[in-house]
Amino acid sequence: MKVLVIGTGGRDHAIAWKFAQSRRVKQVYVAHGNAGIAEIATCVDARTITEMADFAEKERIDLTFVGPEKPLSAGIVDLFESRGLAIVGPNQQASRLESSKCDTKVMLRELGIPIPEFEVFSDPEKARDYVRQVGYPVVVKADGLAAGKGSLVCSGIPDAEAAIRAIMEERIFGDAGARVDIEKRLNGRELSFFCFTDGYSIVPMEAVQDYKRARDNDEGKNTGGMGAYSPHPWLDEVLVQTIMSQVAEPLIQGVREKYGMLYRGILYLGLMLTEEGAQTIPQVLEINIRLGDPEAQVILPRLDTDLVDVCEAMLTGRLKDVRLSWDEHYRLCLIAVSGPTKGKKGWYKGYPDRYKIGVPITGVDRIDPACLAFHSGTERDGAGQLLTTGGRVLCIVSRGRDLAEARANACGEMEKVSFEGMTYRKDIGKN
């Protein structure tokens, strides 16, 4: 079997690696990949969804798996299916669940799925009036795709007004900020919950504890993700069933029956678990339409079931017959990012703000083979030197009998890697 993976980041490296483990797969292609991916798969210089479909058709690709949200929102699934090509992911209509936070919150409210109090605005002055009126702390979210950084958590009215100005008037997230979803800031336990679905049946994956803030102790700006570990420390089977019955199942059934969306692929629920008396209420903060990054990097190494089998079951409506098998060992992911560096015109603040690229990376070849190194933003120059090309550069994923062992292994291996300005969170998995 020939498999094509769409993507360039650490999540997509992990997906390609997982397919390469399958006995059923003879060749993995990735469009368009990075330097790390090129070591395990054939990278293809296809940048548009049309170029990707053309390649899949010409090469007679048996299965395509889409990593990031942008091609899904651009309609890659619709295009591939129109050519008779098998592809995993929601179609363009269903992809609105991530590409429009505002429309999604309205749908969730209509379906009776638990969500924070919210309102949608396209006029910044009316948005400011609203935050002054409600008075409580809010989260201001850009409506469109913003690489996982479009939510600004506000402590009070001045913060909220500044967030509205930044998103809607200064357009720090571009056109994604034409509208905003302003919702009540909840207190509780935050959880990322992942499922496979064929549009009817839903199978939950093992859960992950992830870390979004840029610096230790959950300080600094929101990022696309700074690290993760699995299994989750407090998610039990009772809570899984609560989330399935109150959120996942009514969502998949509701969008299919009320809105005509057959949602197939990965469902990623960003939840805040709040307490009402003795009850735990899973409230939906956001929905993503793909595997998370870096969640995928710790989920996929634990998945013992062949990913090809799971994908085929999703595409043929047989997911109810699949029983996922998981490795019980812990996995922990540390992400090395481009931190503060000095440039010709002053300092780069570093990820998630402006960062320097083209910086040489050393030590990756010294990482213990017992750990996995997934690349997010790397390339090689003409001399074969590994260079940085992004804010999140690479990650190390370790294995351990318990969380402490996995953490010690990852931290020890990350010390071998070096590039100018490199930084990473040192509290991932620390109790």
User: pTM of the prediction?
Assistant: 0.95
**DSSP helix/strand/coil, 344:** coil
Instruction: Please give the pLDDT value at position 278.
Output: 85
Q: Which residue has the tokens 């913060």?
A: 159
Same fold, 2-89 and 189-321: no
Question: Are the C-beta atoms of 245 and 239 separated by less than 8 Å?
Answer: no
346's CB contacts (< 8 A; 6+ apart) are none
* CA dihedral angle for residue 256, residue 69, residue 244, residue 181, rounded to 10 degrees: -90
Tens of pLDDT, residue by residue, the chain (431 residues): 999 999 999 999 999 999 999 999 999 999 999 999 999 999 999 999 999 999 999 999 999 999 999 999 999 999 999 999 999 999 999 999 999 999 999 999 999 999 999 999 999 999 999 999 998 999 999 999 987 778 999 999 999 999 999 999 999 999 999 999 999 999 999 999 999 999 999 999 999 999 999 999 999 988 889 999 999 999 999 999 999 999 999 999 999 999 999 999 999 999 999 998 889 999 999 999 999 999 999 999 999 999 999 999 999 999 999 999 999 999 999 999 999 998 888 899 999 999 999 999 999 999 999 999 999 999 999 999 999 999 999 999 999 999 999 999 999 999 999 999 999 999 999 96
Instruction: Please give the pLDDT value at position 343.
Output: 84
For the chain, what percentages of helix, strand and coil (3-state, to nearest 5) are there? 30, 30, 35
When the candidates are 3.40.50.720, 3.90.1150.10, 3.40.50.800, 3.30.470.20, the CATH number that belongs to 189-321 is: 3.30.470.20
For the domain spanning 330-423, the CATH number is 3.90.600.10
Fold designation for 118-184: Dna Ligase; domain 1 (3.30.1490)
- Angle, in degrees to the nearest 10, between helices 307-316 and 10-20: 100
Instruction: Please give the pLDDT value at position 160.
Output: 96
